[in-house]
Structure 1
């Protein structure tokens, strides 16, 4: 079951966060765009699992139905969370009811592949999906803040900090996160000390970003515990 879940989770992360252009995501009210995204979802599930199991078609239909409903709701943080929660619940349900998807697939003999899928899916969700989530969370306040930094600089910082946190937790160096918080606080201090709104904006965004990365990292560790070991040594001495 967990091998199937890892493969489907990796396929989902690819389809939703790496292979879905912004134009496609914004136009899923149109049947053609929704069908195109559904095609990507099905293709990634087929390739990741190496299987032609009919449950993957069911997965695709349920994914499209969820996206159809989401496209008719406001683009908010709560909507994003609800959408992803439904997708994850669908993945878990398919993996539980059709656990043989992986065992009957072309890649079933490659025991290192499911944990690698879990690791890559966790990284994509921590870094890329986290960017979308935090962006939507902060959107209600974004118009009230004057940001004069580099174009896309805040997004890049967020990606880097979530990536570092993900690596620290999986490498057994979670205590290093405190150093990351301290370093960011020092670097941001001169920018926000005289502007209350900007200070609060940065604090909320930073804490949300850190929390997203931590939850994703520990969830990834929980999934990896049920899979074959990858053989990656611990970072700690």
Structure 2
């Protein structure tokens, strides 16, 4: 319980300090001036103060142990946050550096919460969860609906439509949309929320109706319908199989 409370509080503090209490001008200053950016040090200080307040509050609730733990936790967050943000300032601006940046911060927070709460059994519990058959089958399902399913659906569409391709769309947009669509559908199926699958299909139909009506192209309409139905069929089959295997 104490670990969960501390972890949640630290994550909330990180979100507030990183997104709500950091103006875009600070980010631009860091990206242009790097280690010379004064705003970077101010941002790190905000994270340090936030961490110190959270850890102090947590210590008071769950039994005061040592002020050095608060100082140590604050120093760890400030130093690691400075190094991670500094490294990000030299990277190319995009979604991948952003994801790695946030994952690095969350990893620090996780290790910090484990240390402060003396939760030594955490890694054992995580390892047991990772090697559980149900977890492995779910992982297998998500892997199948991404690249392998995309290849299968593309091959089926090329065979059925004799090489027809929709022009005027973004490169690989259809494949990316299909992958995201199957991830959402599989998630709904694994959670036994089949109504969510119906909602997803209805929402997609609403967005595509205008394009298909305006194009007045029967081949395009059939192509979209075939792609959608193939995607749904493959995902339903995989999802139901995973539910059966992990039962």
Q: Report the TM-score range of the alignment, normalised by the length of the smaller protein.
A: 0.3 to 0.5
Instruction: Give the number of the structure with larger relative contact order, counting CA–CA contacts within 8 Å between residues 6 or more apart.
Output: 1
TM-score normalized by structure 2?
Answer: 0.44
More helix by percentage: 2
